[in-house]
Chains A and B, each alone.
Chain A
Amino acid sequence: MSIMTEADAKAILDKVIALSEADEATARLNGSIEGNIRFARNNVSTSGVISNTSLSVQSAFGRRTGSASTNEFSDEALARVVRRSEDLARLAPENPEFVPAVGPQQYRASPTFAEATAAITPEDRARVARASIEPCVGAGLVAAGFLEDGQSFTAFANSNGNFGYQRSTAMDYTCTVRTQDGSGSGWVGTNSQDFSTFDPADDIQIAMRKASASAEARALEPGKYTVILEPAAASGLVSFMLNYFDARQADEGRSFLSKAGGGNRLGEQVFDPRVNLYADPWDPNVPVLPWDGEGLPRERMALVEDGKIANLVYSRYWAQKEGKTAVGDPGNMIMTGGTKSTAELVRETERGVLVTRTWYIRMVDPQTVLVTGLTRDGTFYIENGELRYPIKNFRFNESPIIMLNNIDELGRPVRVEGGMMIPAMRLRDFTFTSLSDAV
């Protein structure tokens, strides 16, 4: 039951819409089967499979809305959920920012489904755990990791005649390898739609090398350094900045994209001209559903072009108020770069710090998007194009806005967790403010 076909899903949604007596109704069906395996101390610790399906109905009378849902699909249950959402709508206060449901849309399907991921079995997950643990046991190292995978479907319909259905899959693997005495730690991660392209035997070697090589780290003085942030390290900072591309927030004067004196900074040069950021639901590396949560079609949308603010994200209400056209909220984010691998960036670095991963990043000052956090699981000093020695982890206090104005070179983008493609990047004057004893 968890994964319905398009025909089964449409039959249920059609019934729900036909039952509605409200001015408008929207119904959404979601189902998923998710599996995971977790291991630590070279043993499997937990593993499970969870399945769930639910139907939600939103009804509107004028500007009053109510929603209700169920996981039963008999005719009686469908009638009950529709009546309940209508009862709630009649009781709700008027929402001055109410926007009617979207009309019929044409969606171009995006490649979010991979058969191999949907077919994962408990044995497959156990095999991934073994492929991670056994080489570590052999090398006297300790593995802790996690694989989660899932398949799902999303379907919706509304009383304006709109309908959408698509299936998706996803998997995410991470593994931290530590030396037995706890003096070294390395990490690797793979995020993908498609389990068939994933080989833990390759990944684990990276984490093992970093674990061994990071033992006995030396302390460097905190200060400003040239750094190479690997993609997973860079994404932690850049994703914080995306918080502030909301047009309303900028227009209201509470974003780094607000303009002194009023208005926003659309069109202004805010970053180094090599910075380009865009969303694209059909990107083959990081596809997402071709509609947003309100059923508005997503489009390829640039947020930053050649370092200039190219677009801000408008809610349908704010677009209507400001006389703009709303498009579907972005579901992914792609930052372009060059062609070089992290290793090639290292080879061309005279002196600097290689950062595998960033950790516990929190906003310090929203005015400047100053964030703090730490390096983790493999931080190395680079001299004359080589990793010379491991160094102790640093705390940084840095703004991604400042960071993306201090670009030395961008590497090849790779997919990371969170729906992002992002390159490794070599940056000047990255601000480390204190040392951490943590390994």
Chain B
Amino acid sequence: MDRRRFLAACGIGAGGVLLPGFAGRAIAAQELVTTVDVAVKKRLADAGLSAATAAGASYCDVRIGRYMRQFVITREANVQGITNTESSGIGVRVIADGAWGFAATNDMTAEAVAGAARLAVAIAKANAGSQTEPVQLAPTPALGEVSWRTPIRRNAMEVPIEEKVALLLGVNAAATQAGANFVNSQLFLVNEQKYFASTDGSYIDQDIHRIWAPFSVTAVDQATGKFRERDGLSAPMGMGYEYLEGRAEDKTTAPNGVVSYGMSYDMTEDAVAAARQAREKLSAASVQPGQYDLVLDPNHLGLTIHESIGHPLELDRVLGYEANYAGTSFATLDKQQARFQYGSDIVNVFADKTQAGSLGAVGYDDEGVRTKEWALIDAGKLVDYQKTRDQAHIVGQTESDGCSYADSWSTVQFQRMPNVSLRPGTTPMTAAQMIANVENGIYILGRGSYSIDQQRYNAQFGGTLFYEIKNGEITRPLEDVAYQMRTPEFWNACSGICDETDYRMFGSFFDGKGQPSQVSAVSHGSSTTRFDGINVINTARSLG
């Protein structure tokens, strides 16, 4: 256990956050807004491609990455840390003798790149002996020299530190003023400057931006020793600092006054609500276990989509490539061929890496494939998976879906989840109208604990806020709520989806997969959705 893991394990700096994939060297703020000259990157990449080809590679791609992060971490009136990191280097992936090989170096010279390319070829050849299925790549067009940039309005890396500190300390003060005992707030800003070149003839320069502004408020009842936390209702987004403008048109107010956020976020307003709601949780009624109709807000449902649809439809899991870690999938190839009834006929789920503002949005994936949108579940039936170039042939297809991603120059790219989203209902319906038709239900907002088995059948989800619904009315807050489900039964119990005016994105900033484990960021859009007759358990325990 290294210190970073132990800090996380010990929760040091209560509410402390684990920063997977955020290792890197610290740099000065002014360096965060610079980029490396494309001509320099092309020269380095060509050195790697030539060396790999000369050493016997039948395919090579070179990724030159500059991964920059800024974190601002605060609690109450203190700034606990401001860190700027940069991790730069070059990863070379090759196919030689039908096997993959990979090597990476942080030495940004032509000699070092060529050396890494030769090492990657040697590794591929060492592995080829035990290979029974040679790698087959689906063709992808040569793109020449192209570029893409996240369409941001305000580059978060250019916003002065003073402005960021003032925002977070203002959030903390507002929460404290509103009754919070403790508040931790953070800003995580990411800029991936990625250059990709391959022996297929593509040279792709991309500049990708992401932002996340989480907080957690704690209320303590010292007399009883009880404490409750309420996390923020923001979503990490593929946006610039404009996400924190908190525009009125991006707010949705539930029948009981809880405010949810769409394409922008009012962090201070949410922190004030959080303080009040955390205190409310200390005395909220403990749920009576049983069957309920659940009304799930998009900022909650996104995680359920992620775990019970996004992951089981990753083709590498279906095929067994993740069997030793993340697991396999119940959604086997025979189910796709038989158009398995995954959900009720109103359930339409699509994958994409193109939605504006989403975490998954890029122009091209990490093996040079142009991104797109495609259907995974059509009228409740399973129709497709998520694929990379070396997987398409296995399901009889001729092109990749553009799902390849590596979280660093030093890690090898592989199949990662694109945005996976539930299409809004076609009949006009607001969350208030949906709730008005529920007799005995629970309205759940925000992410809570989540756990699912290695084939994605049995899952259990908590949430941030829970409200009892009786005869069409929200009656009171509840606590100790978790629902248990079996994936196909759950999605077949889907009985209503609000319309597109209610569509919002949830995001996962640190989705883990692979060995060595890599993180990726992905969004899941949906409108408020109803599920009938779901099993709810009570999670309260006594330590005696």
Residues of chain A having any CB pair with chain B under 8 Å: 1, 34, 36-38, 40-56, 67-71, 84, 87-88, 91-93, 95-97, 122-123, 125-126, 129-130, 133, 142, 144-146, 148, 174-176, 178, 182, 185, 187, 239, 242-246, 248-249, 252-256, 258-262, 288, 292-293, 313, 315, 329-333, 359-368, 370, 372-374, 376, 393, 395, 397, 399, 401-402, 405, 418-420, 433-439
Partner-binding segment picked from B43-51, B125-133, B238-246, B256-264: B125-133
Report yes or no: A239 in contact with B225, Cβ–Cβ below 8 A.
Answer: no
With the chains together, A359 CA to B222 CA distance in Å?
A: 34
Given the known inter-chain contacts A48-B412, A395-B458, please indicate yes or no for A123 contacting B3, CB distance below 8 A.
Answer: no
B40 at the interface (CB under 8 A from A): no
B25 at the interface (CB under 8 A from A): yes
Report yes or no: A68 in contact with B322, Cβ–Cβ below 8 A.
Answer: no
Report yes or no: A44 in contact with B99, Cβ–Cβ below 8 A.
Answer: yes
B214-258 contact mask (Cβ, 8 Å, vs A): 1 or 0: 000010101111111100000000000000000000000000000
Report yes or no: A47 in contact with B127, Cβ–Cβ below 8 A.
Answer: yes
Residues of chain B having any CB pair with chain A under 8 Å: 1-3, 5-7, 9-14, 25-29, 77-80, 82-83, 89, 99-107, 119-120, 122-124, 126-127, 129-133, 161, 165, 181-182, 218, 220, 222-229, 319-325, 327-328, 330, 332, 410-412, 414, 449-458, 460, 462, 480, 482, 484, 486, 515-516, 537, 539-544
With the chains together, A80 CA to B226 CA distance in Å?
A: 51
Report yes or no: A56 in contact with B322, Cβ–Cβ below 8 A.
Answer: no
Contact of B321 among A144, A243, A248, A402 (CB under 8 A): A144
Report yes or no: B131 in contact with A38, Cβ–Cβ below 8 A.
Answer: no
Not counting A47-B123, A122-B123, A438-B456, a sample of 5 additional A-B residue pairs whose C-beta atoms are within 8 angstroms of each other reads A43-B132, A56-B25, A93-B79, A329-B6, A367-B226
Residue contacts A-B, CB under 8 angstroms, 30 given: A34-B516, A43-B132, A46-B100, A46-B412, A47-B127, A51-B105, A53-B106, A54-B25, A144-B323, A148-B516, A178-B320, A182-B328, A242-B10, A248-B12, A254-B218, A260-B222, A262-B222, A292-B3, A313-B12, A329-B3, A360-B454, A364-B482, A365-B480, A370-B539, A372-B482, A374-B453, A433-B537, A437-B458, A437-B486, A439-B455
Given the known inter-chain contacts A51-B105, A362-B450, please indicate yes or no for A43 contacting B131, CB distance below 8 A.
Answer: yes
- Report chain B residues within 8 Å CB of A51: 104-106
With the chains together, A359 CA to B460 CA distance in Å?
A: 13
- Report chain A residues within 8 Å CB of B321: 40-41, 45, 144
Report yes or no: B6 in contact with A70, Cβ–Cβ below 8 A.
Answer: no
- Report chain B residues within 8 Å CB of A434: 458, 460, 484
With the chains together, A304 CA to B217 CA distance in Å?
A: 30
- Report chain A residues within 8 Å CB of B102: 46-48
Report yes or no: A253 in contact with B453, Cβ–Cβ below 8 A.
Answer: no
Highest count of chain B CB atoms <10 Å: which of A47, A248, A366, A397: A47
Given the known inter-chain contacts A49-B123, A53-B106, A126-B130, please indicate yes or no for A332 contacting B14, CB distance below 8 A.
Answer: no
- Report chain A residues within 8 Å CB of B328: 178, 182
Highest count of chain A CB atoms <10 Å: which of B10, B129, B133, B539: B10
- Report chain B residues within 8 Å CB of A175: 324
Least CB distance, B303 to chain A, in whole angstroms: 11
Report yes or no: A47 in contact with B455, Cβ–Cβ below 8 A.
Answer: no
Given the known inter-chain contacts A87-B28, A366-B229, A368-B541, please indicate yes or no for A49 contacting B103, CB distance below 8 A.
Answer: yes
With the chains together, A52 CA to B91 CA distance in Å?
A: 12
Highest count of chain A CB atoms <10 Å: which of B127, B480, B540: B127
Report yes or no: A436 in contact with B458, Cβ–Cβ below 8 A.
Answer: yes
Least CB distance, A345 to chain B, in whole angstroms: 25
Report yes or no: B454 in contact with A376, Cβ–Cβ below 8 A.
Answer: yes
Which A residue sits closest to B12, measured CB to CB? Answer: A246
Report yes or no: B126 in contact with A176, Cβ–Cβ below 8 A.
Answer: no
Least CB distance, B168 to chain A, in whole angstroms: 11
Contact of B127 among A40, A44, A148 (CB under 8 A): A44
With the chains together, A88 CA to B30 CA distance in Å?
A: 10
Report yes or no: B515 in contact with A372, Cβ–Cβ below 8 A.
Answer: no
Report yes or no: A261 in contact with B130, Cβ–Cβ below 8 A.
Answer: no
- Report chain B residues within 8 Å CB of A253: 181, 220, 222, 225, 227
- Report chain B residues within 8 Å CB of A53: 106
Given the known inter-chain contacts A49-B103, A68-B27, A359-B453, please indicate yes or no for A148 contacting B515, CB distance below 8 A.
Answer: yes
Least CB distance, B405 to chain A, in whole angstroms: 14
Contact of B100 among A36, A47, A405 (CB under 8 A): A47
Least CB distance, A234 to chain B, in whole angstroms: 15
- Report chain B residues within 8 Å CB of A54: 25, 106
Least CB distance, A106 to chain B, in whole angstroms: 20
Least CB distance, A214 to chain B, in whole angstroms: 13
Report yes or no: B83 in contact with A437, Cβ–Cβ below 8 A.
Answer: no
Given the known inter-chain contacts A45-B321, A91-B161, A401-B543, please indicate yes or no for A315 contacting B1, CB distance below 8 A.
Answer: no
